Amino acid sequence: MNNNKLNQTFSFVKVLLAILIAMLTAFVIILIVSDEPMKALHAFLLGPFTSTRRMGNLIENTVPLIYVGLGVCVLWATGKRTLSGEGCYYFGGLTAAAVSLKLTVVHGHSLTLVSMLVVLVVCGLMALLPMIVNLKYGTDAFVVSLLFNYVIFYIGNYIFSNYLMDITSTSSGSYPLPKDSFLPTLIDGTKVNANLIVALIAIVLTWFFLYKTKWGCSIRLIGANPNYARYIGINVFAMCVLAQFIGGALSGFGGGMEMFGRNPRFAWFSLTNLGWDGIMVATLARYKPQYILFSALFLGYVRTGADIMNRSSDVASEIVMIIQAVMILFIGANAFLARTQQKLRVKYNTQKAKEA
């Protein structure tokens, strides 16, 4: 085992241990606070698999996490940390709803296609501003993108309130979206639709872009060593901008696709916080698109189980926040398992030196 494989193995073990510790922490808290802990644990662990509808909820919770997780994988691939996925996801849903309501000359799935193309362009361009400001003026990209999300929200909220909101209906939200533009349902009795297939395709395409194209390799090289990338002639500015465009487009695409089947109206009165969830999903996947499905499934499973537990026992669903916090704490802690990893690395290098 070389040093690279050793590092990869430890990264994998570190994630698994972080998940295990987080789940054990949640179990202990449930045992302490619940009057019926076994009932609560059963609902939490097995609840998502007890009916078709609940399994559908698991998939429904997973699909948006795939998009935002992929978005973070690309947004952060250059080493520039931005939170553009949060605003792009919200505005993607708003843009898809606006186009589908206002563009009356196109119908059916052609309307869906046109709406999503507009979403890709709008959200991709929207994600560029924090990065351009960072590259041109040296500002903190994370802070700028965080603040810019609120600008995006208030602009979107103005559009929503003045042009899309249905004030004649008892249902809060926009005018009903055209039903002929909805995606076909995959599982009867649930809202699982063709968006699941599109999300799986997005995983493959994102992996292909980052690992099998020269642009993706250039982006990852900038993330690993920007000075070397600049030295060998890579246009760092252009690649950083490209990464932001694609990452923002992916996140916005996820928000837009939510409008065609799962939500009969646009009714997001605040930011969704899915941009932060994307960071969680990407962190669990070690920022590798090929692992996004598993990390999104895990987080979707935890959230579905927590929601079922909240409705069927005396434990609140906020237990998910504790699980997420503990996982992030241990995954992000550089000192976690660092001594063991260093000992094995020294042992490996010593052995190789003796063999030489």
Q: Lowest-pLDDT range, 91-95, 165-169, 200-204? A: 165-169
For position 185, what pLDDT does the model report? 92
Could you give the CA distance from residue 96 to residue 102 in angstroms, rounded to a whole number?
A: 10
Which tens digits make up the pLDDT trace of 214-248?
999 999 999 999 999 999 999 999 999 999 999 99
Q: Rounded mean pLDDT of 146-164?
A: 94
User: 24-39 as b/e, with b when 16 or more CB fall inside 10 Å?
Assistant: ebbbeebeeebeebee
Q: Which residues contact 100 (CB under 8 A, 6 or more apart)?
A: 111, 112, 115, 177, 178, 181, 259, 260
Evaluate if residue 101 carries a pLDDT over 90.
yes
Please report the pLDDT score of residue 288 as a whole number: 93
Predicted local confidence at residue 149, as pLDDT: 95
pLDDT at 345: 67
CATH number corresponding to 35-314: 1.10.3470
Distance of CA 71 to CAs 266, 275, 280, 282, 283, Å? 22, 9, 12, 9, 12
The pLDDT of residue 33 is 85
Across the chain, mean pLDDT equals 88
And the tokens for 326? 């503990």
pLDDT digits (tens, 9 = 90+) for 132-148: 999 999 888 999 999 99
pLDDT at 1: 53
Q: Residues 91, 232: contact at Cβ < 8 Å?
A: no
Q: Are 329 and 25 in contact (CB under 8 A)?
A: no
pLDDT-based confidence at 326, cuts 50/70/90?
confident
Give the Cα separation of 63 and 71 in Å (integer). Answer: 13
Average pLDDT of the segment spanning 9-15: 75
Could you tell me the two tokens for 158? 């103005």
Q: Which two tokens stand for residue 23?
A: 């789940």
pLDDT surpassing 70 at residue 335? no
pTM beyond 0.85: the answer is yes
Contacts of 66 (CB under 8 A, 6+ apart): 199, 200, 202, 203, 254, 281, 292, 293, 296
